[in-house]
Amino acid sequence: MTVLICGAGPTGLVSALVLAANGIDCRIIDKRSTSSTSSRALGLQARSMEVLSGLGIAEKVERVSYRLANATIMRRDSPLVRMAWVPPDSRYPNTYVLPQTGLEEILAARLSDFGIRIERGVELTAASTDDSQAVAMLADGRELRVDWLLGTDGARSRVRESAGIGFSQRVTGETYYLADATIDLGLDIGDSAMWLGRNGPLMLMRLPGDRNSWRIFVDVTDTARGSRLPELTLEKLVSLLAARGPRNARVESLEWSSIFRTRLGLADRYRADRVLIAGDAAHVFPPFGGQGMNLGIQDAVNLSWRLAAVTHGAPATLLDGFERERRPVAQLTIRDVEARRRMYALRNPVGRGVRDLLLRATGGNTRAARRASLQNSQLLTSYRNVIPGGDRGPRPRPGDRAPDGPFMGGALHEHLAPDHWTLLMFEPLAAQAVVETESGLHTVRIPPNADCGLKLRRKYGIGDAPEYVLVRPDGHIASRSSELGEVRSQYARMKWSSR
């Protein structure tokens, strides 16, 4: 067996899908005997939807998710500020609200199309690794020897611990109730709203399905400090909403609830010989902004196309780029989420007053909203600082996300996917748009005179001269040059077959 994936959350399932799409032999195990019935993560951002589209997943998510497009900061029953939303330039311009359990069902069903099923009730107790193989010890006494072991088993990762990978972390000191409930709010707050009071934030986000279905996220740190925090009940939720949220809200039902304490953590490294970690096994932080599950999904794609390439004969050094690219993204996300957490958690009345003034001043600003929308969507994620050529030349540069645009009656991104590289050829003599497919590489010829060609040239910063752009399986630019031979040579150095 080539790859064993430990952990069947979104990160593990996407890893398995990318590997399977590339013809890699893999197994996925999970210590839970059944799939989860509750979930903390629930929002898919634009960049995740783009990479999931290449796996045949995004359209299914669209059909069953709620498209979140606005947010409001409230003061009791009146808006303090309506946060402007500027849809990012993507086929998926919203946050797509779907509880993690629903996404896992879609991913598992897609994985079954490749003949792979999740092996549930299988617990990894220890792992070891050297230059030639990884060994997984299971609770039932079995020992599995594999080429690669992927730890996608969450924040308390046994794989990470067994591999001796350090995990620097700290608790923030805050405690929250998390719940899904059916609530008649008695007023229109749009898609999501936040009440920022003296006891910290209370947030509501609309869920797919019934218009009265909401995700509740409420800071109860002050209560937790004084006594043992009880489980959330319907009566307690009614009391919290009356005291800190909409005055006349009527709670119809409480579907599920949990208590959690936020912490910040980042693995010291993402690899130990034949063991690699991704998702929550590599980084944890509070859920402000809906970034965690999305980071895990993009970790999975970045890692798995590399692993597939190496298995098919590409240089093993290709794996070094996984940590080099993805760990800084996690560092930046943790920093940004921590800034939000501190702002929302303010108790000092003077500090809260200044914060509210700043929110009012910036909340409706279109320029600030455009930047915030792009940042939240993760479309700005770039590796240009750590890959060759990313520090020079026209934008987008190597390391940047390849822009999308209209092409052949559809979109250019429809020709990108995690099971192949894509060569974009902007040539002045091309008469018509053509897509040529070969194992491992799709060539897309973009004519200069067609409307789509002009738009794409602008998006790629290309003038009248010919230019060639090589796009990696994860949708980021590998290189660009006016010399076709130079781009093809780079691809040849990493050439691999997708089957």
Query: Per-residue pLDDT for 499 more than 60?
Result: no
Query: Per-residue pLDDT for 157 more than 80?
Result: yes
In a domain, 305, yes or no: yes
Tens of pLDDT, residue by residue over 415-440, are: 999 999 999 999 877 667 787 888 78
Averaged confidence pLDDT in the chain: 92
Q: Cα separation of 42 and 65, whole Å?
A: 10
In a domain, 63, yes or no: no
User: How confident is the model over 351-372, as a mean pLDDT?
Assistant: 84
Same domain flag for 295 and 341:
yes
Range of lowest pLDDT (57-71, 78-92, 104-118, 462-476)? 78-92
**452 contacts 433 by C-beta, under 8 angstroms:** yes
Domain that holds residue 106: 3-39+99-166+268-347
Range of lowest pLDDT (194-203, 328-337, 430-439)? 430-439
Query: Per-residue pLDDT for 161 more than 70?
Result: yes
Count each helix (H run) and each strand (E run) in the chain, helices first.
13, 27
Given the structure tokens 């059916």, which residue do they identify?
Answer: 182
Same domain flag for 10 and 118:
yes
Same domain flag for 107 and 252:
no
Structure tokens at 140: 């039932």
Task: Kindly list the distances between the CA atom of residue 359 and the CA atoms of 17, 82, 84, 362, in Å, as whole numbers in the listed order.
Answer: 41, 9, 11, 5
In a domain, 48, yes or no: no
Q: Which of 240, 263, 286 is the last residue of a domain?
A: 263
Same domain flag for 340 and 437:
no
Q: How confident is the model at residue 497 (pLDDT cuts 50, 70, 90)?
A: very low
Q: Cα separation of 350 and 356, whole Å?
A: 10
Same domain flag for 123 and 10:
yes
**Radius of gyration over every alpha carbon of the chain, rounded to an integer in angstroms:** 24
Scanning 284-412, the segments in alpha helix (DSSP H) are 292-311, 320-344, 349-363, 366-377
**Amino acid present at 346:** L
Tens of pLDDT, residue by residue over 2-39, are: 899 999 999 999 999 999 999 999 999 999 988 776 66
- Within 10 A of 267 (CB to CB), how many other CB atoms are there? 24
Please report the sign of the dihedral spanned by the C-alpha atoms of residue 144, residue 150, residue 153, residue 158: positive
User: How confident is the model over 450-463, as a mean pLDDT?
Assistant: 85
Structure tokens at 147: 């080429």
Closest residue by Cα to residue 336 from 296, 295, 366? 295
User: How confident is the model over 222-243, as a mean pLDDT?
Assistant: 91
Structure tokens at 350: 């003077």
Query: Per-residue pLDDT for 275 more than 50?
Result: yes
Q: How many residues comprise the chain? A: 499
Question: pLDDT over 70 for what percent of the chain?
Answer: 97
- Residue 284, classed as helix, strand or coil, is strand
In a domain, 87, yes or no: no
In a domain, 392, yes or no: no
In a domain, 185, yes or no: yes
Closest residue by Cα to residue 268 from 130, 131, 163? 163
Q: Cα separation of 283 and 316, whole Å?
A: 24
Same domain flag for 331 and 242:
no
**39 contacts 9 by C-beta, under 8 angstroms:** no
**111 contacts 104 by C-beta, under 8 angstroms:** no
Beta bridge partners of 192: 205
Same domain flag for 275 and 295:
yes
CATH number of 483's domain = 3.40.30.10
Same domain flag for 461 and 334:
no
- Within 10 A of 161 (CB to CB), how many other CB atoms are there? 16
Same domain flag for 248 and 274:
no
Best-predicted range by mean pLDDT among 35-39, 79-83, 147-151, 342-346?
147-151
Which residues have CB under 8 Å from 127's CB, separation 6+? 134, 135, 136, 137, 149, 151, 158, 159, 162, 163, 275
**Number of domains observed in the structure of the chain:** 3
CATH number of 297's domain = 3.50.50.60
Q: Which of 204, 239, 263 is the last residue of a domain?
A: 263
Per-residue pLDDT at 123: 97
Per-residue pLDDT at 431: 62
Same domain flag for 160 and 227:
no
Per-residue pLDDT at 454: 83
Same domain flag for 245 and 324:
no
Q: Cα separation of 314 and 302, whole Å?
A: 15
The answer, yes or no, to whether the previous bond of 396 is cis (omega within 30 of 0) is yes
Instruction: Tell me which DSSP letter residue 164 carries.
Output: T
Q: Cα separation of 495 and 457, whole Å?
A: 27
Side-chain half-sphere exposure of 306, counting CA atoms within 13 A? 23
Q: What is the largest CA-CA distance in the chain?
A: 75
Closest residue by Cα to residue 494 from 420, 395, 386, 394? 420
Per-residue pLDDT at 41: 82
In a domain, 74, yes or no: no
**3 contacts 26 by C-beta, under 8 angstroms:** yes
Q: How confident is the model at residue 409 (pLDDT cuts 50, 70, 90)?
A: confident
Same domain flag for 252 and 316:
no
Structure tokens at 142: 């079995």
Q: Which of 297, 320, 347 is the last residue of a domain?
A: 347
Q: In this predicted model, which residue has the larger pLDDT, 36 or 357? A: 357
User: How confident is the model over 439-456, as a mean pLDDT?
Assistant: 83
In a domain, 134, yes or no: yes
Instruction: Tell me which DSSP letter residue 316 carries.
Output: G
Per-residue pLDDT at 77: 87
C-alpha triplet 51, 54, 58: angle, nearest 5°: 70
